[in-house]
Structure 1
Amino acid sequence: MTTFTFYGGVNEIGGNKILLKDRDTQILLDFGMSFSLRYQYYSIPFLSPKNEKDLLEFGILPRLEGAYEFDSEESRIDAVFLSHSHMDHSAYISFLKREIPIYCGETTATILKAYSEVRLPSLEFDLEGLEFRTFRIGDRLKVGSAEVEPIHVDHSVPGSYGFIIHTSSGTVVYTGDFRRHGSRPDLTEDFIARSSEICPDVMICENTNMTSVDISSERKVMKKLDSIIRRASGLVMANFACADVDRLRSFYESARRNDRKLVITLRQAYLLHQLSKDPHLSLPRIDDQDLLIFRKEKKRYFHWEKEVMNLGRTVDSHEIAARQREMVLACSFYDLTELTEIKPDAGSCYIVSSSEPFNEEMEIDFNRLTNWLEHYGLPQFHVHVSGHITPLHLRESLKVINPKKIFPIHGTHPRLFSKFMRDIKSKVVTPEKDKKYRVP
């Protein structure tokens, strides 16, 4: 008998945690942080969980036997498969027993390892001792009685995958997060084509974008960036996700076309250096003449900061202040304090270009951001393309794949989804958290 249980991702964006049991084999599909549930009880850093018991108490961390490093039971989990590196899919592997192998794409492993080096270890993000086993498309990974087939998909972070899980009772398809309107729609088309070949018994799919859908693409993002940067007479500041290499590439190309240099943070530079070793990503080199690294003034630098500063050319706030019309500065919410030194000129602007910041990867307090921008006279532009599939693309995909049952997760409008899909052949099942479902 094969069963699967949702411990996260139900009626919320992110926090995916799915336990699949096939005979004596137990596999976790993603093990992410639930931002929405966490924020119901905590406000980091002022009110933080003391230990794992706090997270278990509120159901932020599910009660799983033989899963956690902090419990004394023998491991009962055979493997974890991560679809991608976003924290809402990966962060809580930190709590798992170190003998449980973590399977993921090579790029996901690179990103997570880089994050673990540039972040101080914390209760909710500590990867020390975890064993990563990487795969690429074409691999078929045998775990006990199940076999997992990873297929690449396009998302707002590189190295994203969906999975086809072949079990003793039938086939399960898990999309992870995917889209058909990004810079590499061909990756998602491969996933859809392969999934349709097997006529899956169960399909677990994301349904993030069911309301306020913005139809855009990375090409349209590039055109909008060109228009803004070309017209700006002062400093252009940009807020985009650290691992969104499509967006980094778009800002880099647009800055270069408009005779500016892109200035990235030390953290972005370190991750770029690690990812640029992958020839499939076509990223600028860290020592590129049109790329600069922003060096914040402080008394001591971490080892990784010293390493990255030696690899490229750095600039500080004083040089940026003197050359504002020559630069596009990556400036996150947490970098705003640098504006007191830079003092943006008239005609400067701020571009928010991040994907679904509240629930997946970043935390932005838009009220405080607006206060900062108003103080310095910086208009805010929103130039964005979602990392998630649009409703019409999703409907078309599900009709092609034609699974027997569909379980929509990673979304907050399951009723809307169910009605939108009511005339397709597949049966739509609205999942419930902690409830066990059978395959087929």
Structure 2
Amino acid sequence: MNIRLYFYGGVEGQIGGNLILLLTNNDGLIYDFGVNFKLRKMFFEYPYVTPRSLNDLIVTGNVPDLPIYTISHNVPVSYAFISHAHVDHCGYVPLLNKSIKVYMGYMAYTIVKSKNEIRLRKTFENDFQNVNVEVFHSGREIDTSLGTIIPVHVDHSIPGSYGFISILGKRTLAYTGDFRLHGTKGYLTKDFIELAIREGVTDLIIEATNTVLSHITSEKEVMEKLFQVFSESKGLIILDYSESDVDRFKSIYKAAVKAGRKVVLSPRQAYLLYMMIKQEQEFSWTKLDLPSLDDKNIMVYNSCRSRNKALKFLLKVLDQDRFVTKVELIKEPEVYVFSANFYNIEDIKSIDPPPGSVYILSSSEPFDEERELRFEKLINWLDVLGIPMYHIHASGHASPLEIRMVVEEINPEKVYIVHSENPMLMAKYLGNIAKCIAPIRGREYIL
């Protein structure tokens, strides 16, 4: 079987925007189809300039000119395998032709679907409602016309993350998706590694996000540092974390309870949490161990915004004593950990946190020019309000040492490095243990 591999995103120094195309003489499949935020911001800025058509995305290079879209005929691809629900891996999936069956993990699809349900502005590029999705769980053997594809769970900063092991005749290809070993569920990634070894993987596509200034920090350390700040601070805690990072939420929750504080979630965060808990209850193999929204230590912020779909839903399903407004936060700031970020600056200003309040950034630092500018504005507002900032975080991605260990254990013939600003650096770092390739966009690679 002639197997050809093409990389159309997540290469040439791009973190995210992954799109990997695998073709044989008879059929094809895609691994991930995500948004490259850096490239997108070169041409579009909501709400001023937005894509009006698929052609806008193609001519700007945001998506490749391939016959895989809703308007395409004679589509050479029958399957798409999505590793997880981060937008840089799944954001452009709604553009795919409806004849393409899209495979996602149960929890990944729950997250995507939940965000879609509360989205105020749905467009041709972000509406998942009519996507042809089939869900899977780890270890399921999916038979395709190309061979057998086995999704295997990995640990990442969002639940429902998977790598894929594809048995394609004489070649076996593994794609890690985004992963780590230092997280609370590193054993999930070890399951992926063990199956890759057993299946005799010949070709490995691996992410290498962390190449420069990589920090070795565990989630346990994050929780301990959060507790220290929570317990020693006398004012309001304002905390910025990724809404889908359940490990971080659990660390925040545990630290807050221990420090005698309550966590106040945004309606959007609470809605996602509600849907993930519901999914966990329905399917026994999804073990997130999340606290219930009925927990007295978890509150939902009622911003009184009438257009907020998540808030409308939660007001119907939760008791009224589960909600707080800015009145409570102003009255007893020392009782709460208020989940907010730059986009909630108006709420933060209206609360006017008292002296002794702090802001905690518990997500990655800004990594492009636009985020730098947004971050600078946030810093300026915190300066005006007299609120210092702490950065307490553990990465959702593997460290260089973890990446090297994975390559050594799987021992493939070839390694393709993706999702990295410095793919050549990583290729040299791994150069004495495998033949490493930093893929060129659109170039053909024969397995």
Query: When the two structures are superposed, what TM-score results if normalisation uses the length of structure 2?
Result: 0.94
Aligned partner letter, 2:442: D
Runs of 4+ deviating beyond 3 Å: 301-304, 355-359
1:38 to 40, 55, 70: 40
**100-109 or 39-48, which deviates more:** 39-48
Distance in 2 between the 1:261 and 1:253 partners?
Answer: 10
> CA offsets, 1:277-334, max 9 Å, x none?
2151110111111100001123x24554222123331111111111100000000221
**Alignment match, 1:377:** 386
* 97 and 218 in structure 1: CA distance in 2 versus 1, 3 angstrom threshold: same
1:93 counterpart residue number: 93
Query: In the alignment, which residue of structure 2 is the partner of 1:326?
Result: 335
Contact 1:333 1:364 in 2 (8 A): no
Cα distance in structure 2, aligned partners of 1:127 and 1:363: 30
User: Which whole-Å CA distance do the structure 2 matches of 1:415 and 1:2 have between them?
Assistant: 25
* 1:356 Cα offset (Å): 6.0
1:306 counterpart = 2:312 = yes
Helix, strand or coil at the partner of 2:103:
strand
* 1:438 aligns to 2:446 (yes or no): yes
Check the 8 A contact 2:359/2:389 in 1, yes or no.
Answer: yes
The 5 Å alignment of 1:58-207 reads 58-65=60-67, 67-69=68-70, 71-119=71-119, 120-207=121-208
CA distance in 1, matches of 2:373, 2:50: 18
Structure 1 match to 2:400: 391
8 Å contact kept, 1:22–1:146: no
Aligned residues: 433
Residue identity matched to 2:384: H
2:417 paired residue number: 408
Equivalent residue number for residue 3 of structure 1: 4
2:292 paired with 1:290: no
**Residues 356 and 386, structure 1, Cα contact 8 Å, conserved in 2:** no
**Alignment RMSD, CA only?**
1.6
Give distance in 1, aligned partners of 2:267 and 2:367: 23
Does the CA contact (< 8 Å) of 1:373 and 1:379 recur in 2? Answer: yes
Whether the 8 Å CA contact 1:23–1:145 is kept in 2: the answer is no
2: distance between equivalents of 1:214 and 1:62? Answer: 34
Change (3 A) 1:228 1:320: same
User: What is aligned with 2:429?
Assistant: 420
Whole-angstrom distance in 1 between the partners of 2:51 and 2:113:
24
Question: 1:413 deviation in Å?
Answer: 0.7
* Gap change, CA 1:303 and 1:226, over 3 Å in 2: closer
Shift of 1:404: 0.3
Give 1:97 shift. 1.7
Q: C-alpha offsets along residues 188-214 of structure 1, whole Å, 9 cap, x if unaligned?
A: 111111112223221000011000111
Rounded to whole Å, the distance in 1 between the matches of 2:315 and 2:85 is 25
**Equivalent pair of 1:265/1:294 in contact (CA under 8 Å):** yes
Alignment of structure 1 residues 231-380 onto 2, 5 Å: 231-277=232-278, 278-279=280-281, 280-298=287-305, 300-312=306-318, 313-355=322-364, 358=367, 365-380=374-389
Cα distance, 1:423 vs structure 2: 1.4
1:47 to 24, 46, 49: 49
Q: Distance in 1 between matches of 2:366 and 2:397?
A: 13
Q: Cα distance, 1:96 vs. partner?
A: 1.1
Q: Which consecutive residues of structure 1, in runs of 5 or more, have no partner in the other structure?
A: none
Contact kept in structure 2, 1:29 and 1:82, CA below 8 Å: yes
For 1:12, the equivalent position in structure 2 comes to 14
Q: Secondary structure at the match of 1:419?
A: helix
How far 1:169 moved relative to its partner? 4.3
**Deviation (angstroms), 1:240:** 0.5
Alignment-mate amino acid for residue 240 of structure 1: Y
Distance between the aligned counterparts of 2:356 and 2:117, measured in 1? 37
- Tell me how far apart the structure 1 counterparts of residues 347 and 409 of structure 2 sit (CA, whole Å): 50
8 Å CA contact 2:118–2:309 kept in 1: the answer is no
In the TM superposition, what are the counterparts of 1:206-217 in structure 2 within 5 Å?
A: 206-217=207-218
Q: Matched residues in 1 for 2:145 and 2:431: separation?
A: 36
**What amino acid does structure 2 have at the position aligned with 1:105?**
G
Check 1:30–1:431 CA distance in 2 against 1; reply closer, same or farther (3 A cut).
same
Match of 1:318, SS state, is helix
How far the C-alpha of 1:363 sits from its partner, in A, is: 9.1
Once residues 73 and 230 of structure 2 are traced to their aligned partners in structure 1, the CA distance between those partners, rounded to angstroms, is: 57
**Residue segments in structure 2 that go unaligned for 5+ positions in a row:** 282-286
SS in 2 for 1:276: helix
2-structure distance, mates of 1:47, 1:344: 35
Deviations 1:30-61 (A, max 9, x none): 00001121122233333333322111002111
CA distance in 2, matches of 1:191, 1:363: 35
Give the C-alpha shift of residue 81 in structure 1.
0.4
Alpha-carbon offset, residue 72 of structure 1:
4.5
Q: Which moved more, 1:267-276 or 1:191-200?
A: 191-200
- Distance in 2 (alpha carbons) for counterparts of 1:42 and 1:9: 19
Deviations 1:152-202 (A, max 9, x none): 100000010000011134111000000010110100111111112223221
Deviations 1:404-426 (A, max 9, x none): 000000001122112111211x2
Q: Which one-letter code corresponds to 2:399 in the other structure?
A: T
User: Which deviates more from structure 2 when the two are superposed, residues 309-318 or residues 407-416?
Assistant: 309-318
Question: Residue 108 of structure 2 aligns to which amino acid in structure 1?
Answer: T
Q: What whole-Å deviation, never above 9, does each CA across 1:4-34 have from its counterpart, x for those lacking one?
A: 1001000210000001113312111000001
Are the aligned partners of 2:28 and 2:146 in contact in 1 as well (CA < 8 Å)? Answer: no
